[in-house]
Chains A and B, each alone.
Chain A
């Protein structure tokens, strides 16, 4: 693990710590870490606060370099980092989005209860495991090539729906309606196409999963009702992204940015922050390519949704509509978005980088689905396999203080090797079974890396985001069955 961070830190209030500008040469704004007394101790175990300070040096960054309470050590940006740069004179950084562009989560609802699903859980997991290509070295069952592949990049989830994967109404409940504007397939390399085409419609591996869950607790009955959530309901959480396509897009453009920092004379404390002015050709091309990858990810989660519905239909011998298998919401947590935010009384266009952070817009915001406009945007927070996941709702406070952002998960505390030393995949499997959680995977060894103790306790993360007011608890879900890639 990395060394303990011992830099300059000031407590602002019970839930926020500041890294002042004077801490490091070149910081244009202060850093702010969302954490309480206990969490800040964990955060300072590695070099992630230094990465918050590094991000603060990006040209055009406004207000502060932010870190959500699930912050952990990444490369370039910390995971859990949020930074907004002025469109007018700021930069865009592929490192502020990450390799898995539009890694995100989607929650599907059902009208089934725990008691109805439990007897069929094993059959259901098997069906999904067969229908959704997952795991390492797996390839998709879609054959999308050439011009058709461009359509995926342009239309995202809409491409999937037009091709029979899902329902038109799904699109209304996806961030950006599942297709962000600004995609340009002309800026995508042949390599990215080659990596991306065979992997469309696959779950992938690592921390990606499909989880069958039960709603264990409702915190806000009124909002839960609007979201369609009730206690003991069965829900399905999908966590995946843009697969090898996004990885290659990021690799390609980090290389472009390495030249751009020389061309535009940008000096950075970490090369992984390589960036270019938003309005430069390099910046614009990266943004167009990133949008392609974001759309690919939305198409991916849409196809997976369709196969999950088919699996339920086979197991329960009822149509997906009758089973109430509707999308609650689908939200990205690795993305850069051009948004308007109020800076000292003035509306300013900024590029909000969210790397391991989720958009959390408040009620009445025009960019959230109409059905949720009177309460706010649903935020989906996956925990680890053994603990819990959360549905939160966006708040006005988030808009004022975090550019409408909140956390994205529990956040790792233990390295993969560390997790493997402390437990084995078999032990994890047994422990989960004791809690009544079934797991399907073809990589049992890899389960150890995703053990509960490798992550922060999601409860602590949620207490901080709620305590600081940047989002509000609506419901907690407990895992019943997990498919791990």
Chain B
């Protein structure tokens, strides 16, 4: 499983998984955009480059997802494919998507921000998988 959405009274919880830290970030990105819209309808036509850095891995994770929210609202581009490189708490990401089109895309939730509440990134040694849980304010 790449990600799952869990319930929270006023907001939405996102749990992402990944075999590597990079995959964790990519799957979380997909999860975030799937809260916004039906990403099966978003064609990965255009490529965009984004970079963020953080104080540690957790900080980087929140900053990256918040960067994606900002990117969507300002560029009005929906993305469905992600490829990230992480080195020393800095991230360079390529995201693939297309401009929002009223006729083809439905926005299901406005996403305000990713919060730090109940947030953690864990590595499950037994199953060799990274897991992150965040609450997203919608």
Q: Is chain B a partner of chain A in the same complex?
A: yes
Chain A residues with CB under 8 Å of chain B are 1-2, 46, 48, 72-76, 79, 98-100, 135-137, 191, 194-195, 199, 204-206, 244, 247-248, 250-251, 254-255, 258-259, 270-272, 274, 412-418, 443, 445-446, 485
Q: What number of residue pairs across chains A and B have CB atoms under 8 A from each other?
A: 108
12 A-B pairs within 8 Å (CB atoms) are namely: A1-B7, A1-B9, A75-B118, A99-B137, A136-B107, A136-B108, A136-B109, A205-B110, A247-B112, A250-B113, A416-B12, A446-B108
Given contacts A136-B109, A258-B55, A445-B108, contact A244 B73 (CB under 8 A): yes
Residues of B within 8 A of A271 (CB): 116-117, 119
Mark each residue of chain B from 50 to 61: 1 if its CB lies under 8 Å from any CB of chain A, else 0.
000001000100
Most chain B CB atoms below 10 A, which of A195, A251, A415, A443: A251
Residues of A within 8 A of B55 (CB): 258-259
Instruction: Decide: A417 and B5 in contact? CB cutoff 8 A.
Output: yes
Given contacts A99-B112, A247-B113, contact A195 B70 (CB under 8 A): yes
Which label, helix, strand, loop or mixed, suits the secondary structure of the A interface?
mixed
Instruction: Decide: B113 and A73 in contact? CB cutoff 8 A.
Output: no
Contact of A415 among B9, B74, B102, B115 (CB under 8 A): B9
Q: How far is the CA of A137 from the CA of B103 in the complex (A)?
A: 12
Report B54 CB to chain A, min CB distance, Å.
9
Given contacts A100-B112, A251-B66, contact A206 B138 (CB under 8 A): yes
Chain B interface residue count, Cβ-Cβ cutoff 8 angstroms: 34
Q: Which of B94-138 contact A (CB under 8 A)?
A: 100, 102, 105-110, 112-113, 115-119, 135, 137-138
Mark each residue of chain B from 1 to 36: 1 if its CB lies under 8 Å from any CB of chain A, else 0.
000010111111000000000000000000000000
Q: How far is the CA of A271 from the CA of B118 in the complex (A)?
A: 8
Q: 16 additional contacts, CB 8 Å, given A75-B116, A271-B117, A274-B116?
A: A2-B8, A73-B9, A136-B109, A195-B70, A195-B73, A195-B74, A204-B110, A206-B110, A250-B113, A251-B69, A270-B117, A413-B9, A414-B9, A415-B10, A418-B7, A445-B106
Most chain B CB atoms below 10 A, which of A72, A137, A485: A137
Instruction: Decide: B10 and A137 in contact? CB cutoff 8 A.
Output: no
Q: How far is the CA of A205 from the CA of B55 in the complex (A)?
A: 33
Q: How far is the CA of A396 from the CA of B70 in the complex (A)?
A: 43
Contact of A75 among B7, B66, B115 (CB under 8 A): B115
Task: Give the nearest-CB partner of B74 in chain A.
Answer: A194
Report B11 CB to chain A, min CB distance, Å.
7
Q: How far is the CA of A259 from the CA of B110 in the complex (A)?
A: 28
Task: Give the nearest-CB partner of A258 in chain B.
Answer: B59
Report B104 CB to chain A, min CB distance, Å.
12
Residues of A within 8 A of B74 (CB): 191, 194-195
